[in-house]
Chains A and B, each alone.
Chain A
Amino acid sequence: MGSGPDVGAAELAAQQLVDATAWLLGREGRERADRTLTRRGLPHSSMDVDDLCSAALLRLTVRFGNGPIELTHGDDSVRAYATTVLRSLTTRLVDGGARQRLQELVDWSEQVAPAVESDDDRIDDEVAAGDAVDIVRRRALDAIDGRVQAWTVAAGLATVTIAAGEVQVMDGIRVPAREADVARWAGLAYAGRTDCFDEPEDGAVRERRAQALHRVADLLTRLLDPHAAST
């Protein structure tokens, strides 16, 4: 996929995911999940433990898709990381994600410049190829943070759905003549960015739309190739 990670890092990340999964679904991981729930006074039936382990597995899959973790605790690093994920997910159960939202509010900056060089044609090619659509969808929600706002992810999801050639956009959505841009423009509309289509369309509106399109392309590039977004 694209420039991609170096093979060594990708293999290491894949192995770490295998190790983390084995630990999490094994006796020790499930006991840890049970203990984490118990310590917070939360229900900890077998089904509750299953839920927590499933959520942790999903997060680990996304995380290791971005590359390997640092081995700060030697051979125990993967287990320690998985334990941290269990704890953080349990904290979210009792705090509703407030800490993450606070960090997003503090980090938010309108001036954030795209950190990666997006390549619209490449995104189109990869989306048309098929697998990329699921990759984008699987990683999409985790991308929302202080720099990537929800509308960007909403636009990205709509863009890949339309670009994959699966559906027609609603009547009434304004799209450009250039076929290759239809999905991107419609993606903005479905994400509620009505300000990108204000009438009369002056230079400010066009500039706003161009910036919004750039942010969505940047997001898709990051989702398809997380290693390109290390900056």
Chain B
Amino acid sequence: MAPMPQASYTLTLENTTASLESLAPWIQTVAQQLSLTAETTFRIDLILAEVITNIVEYAYSPGQFNPILIKIKQQANQLVIEVQDQGIPFDPLQAPPVTLPTTLQSANIGGLGIHLLRHYSDECFYQRLNDQNQLTIIIHLPTD
């Protein structure tokens, strides 16, 4: 029998590349317990891959270790994903929209992560609270 869904799921990662290895398996476990579709699971996977990679790469000075807290909860027909970190203040939603390149030579290879975050989330909010970055992402669940 599948385990009963919990009210919320949390994962704490260190801001290291090695810790990213536990992210995708955790998302798969949560998705299974919440009986999410493959499409919704892929969206969460992509959103968190981009957000967490960004924090690991840019939010802290080299050698500075701090936790990143990820929480997923289901509220009626939506998933609420919260990401908190203690890094430098950074609101990814303030980044200007990406202009997609038209040729390989002109392809600016950066900035795609935030573009993907915006596209694959239904709603996204940022606040700086208690010296922490708090990003909240909402995904509307497909209705039967």
Say whether A and B bind each other: no
Interface residues of A (CB under 8 A from B): none
